[in-house]
Amino acid sequence: MTDTAPASSPAESPRVIALVDDDRNILTTVSIALRSEGFVTRVYSDGETALKALLDNPPDLAVCDIKMPRMDGLQLLQKLRETSALPVIFLTSKDEEPDEALGLAMGADDYIAKPFSQRLLIARIRAILRRSALVRGAPEVENDEQPAEAIRRGRLEMDPLRHQVLWNGQPVSLTVTEFLILEALAARPGVIKSRNQLMDAAYSDDVFVDDRTIDSHIKRLRRKFRSVDPHFGAIETLYGAGYSYSDG
């Protein structure tokens, strides 16, 4: 593992990005590009080594390849999601489309297909970090982007400042993307939100995702809530229209 700081440090602490890939060329070139943008990078060449480091000393975000020795990216994500909501971007190949859908269903925040432009990757990283800051009420978020006050809808409690979600008083661990989608639904119970509206709530303007991405996040949200309440049904599907949140 290498922990590399940017050439010059900004006034505030730089964000830390973990890169997990068995391709040394990708690790080197992406790390250099991120350093030039003011990030600190930590690089790992396999999932098994990365897992312990990501749990013991979490970065702000991880970029992970899917195909790796010892422990692949999907196995790494599965282990991470047992205890961590760390934002994760997957790197995939064109022939790994089923893995993309599975990764999103397992809790990845985004994916980028290889070959990719470094500019696109950096834009996606910045977008997720902005969403993370918004959800957690970080000081660097501008005043007009401050997260909403705590939401209470029946058995649901959401506190953006603490990135905390409770259902019937029991905690439910959500990723940043899942939190923002649920917040958009719960803010107006009974109102149907189209997939495009949920994309707008969860992603910035410079990130484009398809319907399958939102559907995968919704499925994972339901699965997480049903792990604490098998009868959870507050997120309703309106076929052909979108999703809504029910207070009942």
Is the pTM value of this prediction over 0.95? no
pLDDT of 243 = 95
Asked whether residue 123 is domain-assigned, the answer is: yes
Asked if 21 and 80 sit in the same domain, the reply is yes
Residue at a domain's end among 101, 136, 171: 136
Asked if 128 and 154 sit in the same domain, the reply is no
Asked whether residue 239 is domain-assigned, the answer is: yes
| Burial readout 226-246 (b: 16 or more C-beta within 10 A, e: otherwise) | eeeeeebebbeeeeeebbbbe
Asked whether residue 204 is domain-assigned, the answer is: yes
Asked if 131 and 155 sit in the same domain, the reply is no
Comparing CA positions, the residue from 157, 177, 159 lying closest to residue 167 is 157
Q: Which residues contact 210 (CB under 8 A, 6 or more apart)?
A: none
**Residue 199 is part of a domain; what is its CATH number?**
1.10.10.10
**Residue 110 is part of a domain; what is its CATH number?**
3.40.50.2300
Asked if 19 and 90 sit in the same domain, the reply is yes
Number of domains in the chain: 2
Asked whether residue 143 is domain-assigned, the answer is: no
pLDDT of 5 = 57
Asked whether residue 107 is domain-assigned, the answer is: yes
From residue 21, alpha-carbon distances to 13, 133, 189, 199, 243 in Å are 25, 26, 42, 28, 36
Asked if 6 and 113 sit in the same domain, the reply is yes
Asked if 84 and 20 sit in the same domain, the reply is yes
Asked whether residue 142 is domain-assigned, the answer is: no
Q: What is the pLDDT along the chain (248 residues), one digit of tens a residue?
A: 656 655 444 446 889 999 999 999 999 999 999 999 999 999 999 999 999 999 999 999 999 998 888 898 889 998 998 888 899 998 887 565 666 667 777 778 888 888 888 888 888 888 888 777 755 555 444 444 444 578 899 899 998 877 789 999 999 988 888 888 999 999 899 999 998 888 888 766 555 556 677 888 898 899 899 999 999 999 999 988 999 999 75
Asked whether residue 141 is domain-assigned, the answer is: no
Total Cβ atoms within 10 A of residue 133: 19
Q: Mark residue 9 as left, alpha or beta (left: phi above 0; alpha: psi -120 to 50; beta: remaining).
A: beta
Instruction: Residue 47: give the domain boundaries.
Output: 2-136
Asked if 30 and 110 sit in the same domain, the reply is yes
Asked if 121 and 220 sit in the same domain, the reply is no
Asked if 121 and 7 sit in the same domain, the reply is yes
